[in-house]
Structure 1
Amino acid sequence: MSATIKDIAKKVGVAPSTVSRVLANKSKYYNLETAEKVKRAAQELGYKKNQAAVELVKQHSNVIAAVVSSVKTNFAGEILDGIKDEASRHGYDLIIVYSNSADSKEQERALLTVIERPVLGVLLLSIALSENNLNLLKDSEIPYCFLSMGFDDNRPFVSSDDIEIGYKATKLLIENGHRNIGLAGIDMYPYTGRLRLDGYKKALQEIDVDPKDSWIQSGDYSYISGENAMSNYGKNTELTGIVCVSDMVAIGVLNQARNFGFKVPDDLSIVSIDGTEMCKIVQPQLTSISQDFYKMGIKGVQQITDNIGDKNQQFVSIHIEERESVKFIK
């Protein structure tokens, strides 16, 4: 088996992104001594750049790669459905690689799995890449696009407006008479979670409510995050409404609330964010801020195939689905 960029990086003791830059003759971010070590290691290991693969990528590769967060949420399926349908419509194949969304080494492994193969483009589903891994992806010169995650720099993405999501979810509870409103399962990363938190706080500021630290419970969008959040709120919580940052979190909150003896929505109102089919198969059905994940998948493929460029950023619209988990209080 021929040597890879990762093999060279391990031998020299540098990041794969540095090896990629050296071999691509990009002089920024490394010194001459490092370049010499990389080139010597490449020669010793017998590394050969797959020029045929490079040309295939640039000209007529028919494979799109999707790197998917391994966090146990349920919305990725709808995005993948959109990707698969749009890719199939154009005659493209799809490969799927899973990665821990917050682990730099796992991200690197997933990226190397796809960029050392001839792929037309890379779609990243709810993955916040570390700086080194973002540079690794950029240096591959393979088109890429983030899905379900927006940024405030020039990275290409297709996502919902997460500030608007946090704001509308909280505003919905406010319009139903609630003032003590929790935010459950929010992640600590600087993108999706921060933006939804900003929207949540903005809505509360409009009614002069300063949320207590205990109202905001962190997590990773999973079911267990919802259970933990509700456990931390406790049986005697002052909250009358909770914004849950995913459907899985909402179900975790719902079930733990029942364990405490709460009736939803009589004792506690819940608004879920995402609006997947999970909202309809629980009782009571969950009112949600619904995202069009299927459309995200379609637009992601279009960004890759239409060669729009790395500055293109698109927001997909959201809407409120009123079901059974929110009650008006006086």
Structure 2
Amino acid sequence: MTDPTPSDRLLDWYDRHRRTLPWRAAAGTCADPYHVWLSEIMLQQTTVVTVIPYFQRFLARWPTIHELAAADLDDVLTQWQGLGYYARARNLHKCAQVVSANHGGEFPTTESALLALPGIGAYTAAALTSIAFDKRAVVVDGNVERVVARLFALTDPLPGVKKTVKEHADRLTPDRRPGDHAQAMMDLGATVCTPTSPKCDLCPILAHCLGRQQGIAADLPRRAPRKTRPTRHGVIFWLQRKDGAVLLRRRPPTGLLGGMMELPGTDWREGEAWREAEARQQAPTEARWRLLPGSIRHTFTHFHLVLTVMAGQCAQSPSGPPSGTWVKREDFGSQALPTVMRKAIDHAMAGTAKS
């Protein structure tokens, strides 16, 4: 009788300790590809705890991919608020439309065909192939990277060592129960092989861990120093009509926060903050503008953003510029507003309430 492999030990541990997650199938059953796909898109750059309520709300609103495909993009973006990285939501909607229209609502079952769909990259294609269709694929997320780096004592820093991590993950991946193996690796990283204070004594593959044997497991994976995020500055315009409605506009369909609603504002530039006089030149209309005290700070992946707010009252009650929409305050909740704009709105409402 041969000794159990690391994957054998891992699968035995997974059968006893697997996490219960709303997108996972019960033991011995196949996962719904729609559920796997939706959860994996949401989980990119986001924690499980944060994703669970979003996943449940999406499924309650759009139980099938056909219903998601038929949804209005604004509704999808509104439900996505708070998850960030809004390109994921736009691609989610596009992908649903393609799968609904071109594939009869059924996801392709091969990695190559999945990679052709909007918003599906190498990781998501592998996860779907493995977890939803139980076909062998090499699934490497942040948790798996950490487990593999420690297991094989990979001391070169990420992201440079990613290729080596995937090669080792490939050798670990079995032909038997590949979907369970992928989820077991994720669970091990999330609950035992954690970023800090790993619970090595609970690890089912401790005997195979070179990082533990060398006393460096907790220091892995190593990461190259991050570049300092620059700071950008902008001015937001809070323009009210006499009836209390506020002017919003839609951002361009592509790029950062693409397709989302926002308060009109200046460009976001690095370096010095906007002077009040030059900011007025980008105001949506003439008004008696005044600068509100304080500022809003928000951090994106690649830069910090500092916004100040100028408030103004519309002299008349026009229907609004072609690029803008007048929205009553009580209707803000139905608008696809990103978190940074929610912050700006809260700041503006607090600042104007004091006047």
TM-score by length of 2: 0.24
**Which structure is higher in strand share?**
1
